[in-house]
Amino acid sequence: METVTITSEMMLLLGIIGVALVLFAFEWVAADVVALALMITLILTGLLSAEQAFAGFGSDTVFTLMGLFILTAALLRTGVVARTGRTLLRYTGESSQRLLIVVMVAVAIMSALMSNTASTAFFVPIVLGLAGRLRVGAGRLLMPLAFASILASSITLVSTSTNIVISGLLVRNGMAPLGMFELTPVGIPIAIAGVLYMFFVGQRLLPDRTAVDDLEEMGNRLYITEVIVLPNSPLIGKTLTEAGLGHDLDITVLRIIFRDPPSADRYSVTPTARRLTPRQGRHLRAGDILQVEGEREALLNSKATMGLELREDLQKNTPEVEPESLQLVEVLILPRSPLIGETLTRHRFRERYG
């Protein structure tokens, strides 16, 4: 039997890898810093040449993964994620079981056609927002989501970086690369079996931890802000009904500050929402200010498609304060805040903080 001799280079390499694993596990240093430090250390110790260490930056695998993450970021910024979440909720209704199977099937299909990491990143904010609305624990949706994504990653070549790396190694060693659908006959049965198991058995083994408030904050939060109708806005000359902000962008207009005299600004209080609601028949003009409520993606999307500009400063004409000294801000009540369970009046919030 051939014996393996442990050399000093092997011991040094194992020590470097061990330190890197500890830093990755405990997150004392950012992961990207650890990765770069690891590469530089391997070069300085002579375990790798500079050409070998930097070879990964010219790899097709790296650029493929970079492109997939850029695609996912674009989907998030353009509001596709928010619109997808609303569509899923429309089809699943208030049933968490229906939502679970729809999410698992959807992420499995997407993971088969693109990076499973990117598809998971796409669905996580959707699932968090829907879990908050349906009042279910996020873990009971996120864990099946992760399993469906992982199991479906064996369906096609581009499903996971592991497949791409293996295909590249085959080419480097003079063999034929993996075909796009070469893994499909094996991957599809595995994905179907995994989805069915998680739906009928796996989800019942998961703890039911419901943190509704945290889920809503992490998911699709609703923001209140003010936007100005720009001179080139397609909304000019249209009424709120014709503008379709609520239908197209899922934005609620709470109030309008018109350019013309205050008499034209009329509001009525709805008995259910108890909010100031502007007249739907009033035509919008350039310079009008809309106080709106919506998700972050929807508000940002309104800038690009509706010719609106976010207004940072909220001006109010009150007898106590000059308009320029007031700003509209949002604050988050933390889980251990003394305000929980209190009313602002009983806490004397205005007297204490103005």
Neighbours of 233 (CB within 10 A): 22
> In terms of pLDDT, which residue wins out, 318 or 153?
153
Provide the pLDDT for residue 192: 95
Q: What pLDDT score was predicted for residue 212?
A: 43
Residues 6+ apart with CB under 8 A from 70: none
Q: Is the pLDDT of residue 266 over 50?
A: no
pLDDT computed for residue 52 by the predictor: 85
- Separation CA 276–CA 270 (nearest Å): 7
260 alpha carbon, distance to own chain's centre: 40
Strands 308-311 and 289-295 come out as unpaired
The residue ranking higher by pLDDT, 135 or 143, is 143
- Strand ranges (E), the chain: 222-229, 252-257, 267-269, 276-278, 289-295, 308-311
Q: Record the tokens describing residue 204, joined without a space.
A: 């019942």
How far apart are the C-alpha atoms of 96 and 206, rounded to whole Å?
Answer: 14
Rounded CA-CA distance 281/242 in Å is 9
Region 68-93 average pLDDT: 73
The answer to whether the beta carbons of residues 146 and 104 sit under 8 Å apart is no
- The rounded distance, in Å, linking the Cα atoms of 192 and 265 is 58
Residue-wise pLDDT tens digits, 287-304? 888 888 887 777 777 777
Cα separations (Å) of 264 from 54, 241, 267, 284? 66, 18, 10, 12
Measure the CA–CA gap between 195 and 104, rounded to whole angstroms.
7
- What CATH number does the domain located at 222-313 have? 3.30.70.1450
List the beta bridge partners of residue 256. 290
Please measure the distance between the N-terminal and C-terminal CA atoms of the chain and give it in whole angstroms.
Answer: 82
CA dist., res. 74 & res. 68, Å (int) = 10
Domain ranges of the chain: 8-58, 62-215, 222-313
* Pair of tokens at residue 315: 């001006």
Is residue 313 very low, low, confident or very high in pLDDT (cuts 50, 70, 90)? very low
Which structure tokens are listed for 18? 């061990």
With beta carbons less than 8 A apart as the criterion, state whether 254 and 292 touch.
yes
Provide the Cα torsion 66, 67, 69, 75; round to 10°: 160
Q: pLDDT for 212-259, tens place per residue?
A: 444 444 445 677 888 888 888 888 888 877 777 766 667 888 777 765
Residue whose C-alpha is closest to residue 325's, from 339, 338, 313 = 313
* Separation CA 3–CA 169 (nearest Å): 28
- Helix or strand or coil: residue 16? helix
Q: Which of 1-10, 159-168, 219-228, 328-337 has the highest mean pLDDT?
A: 159-168
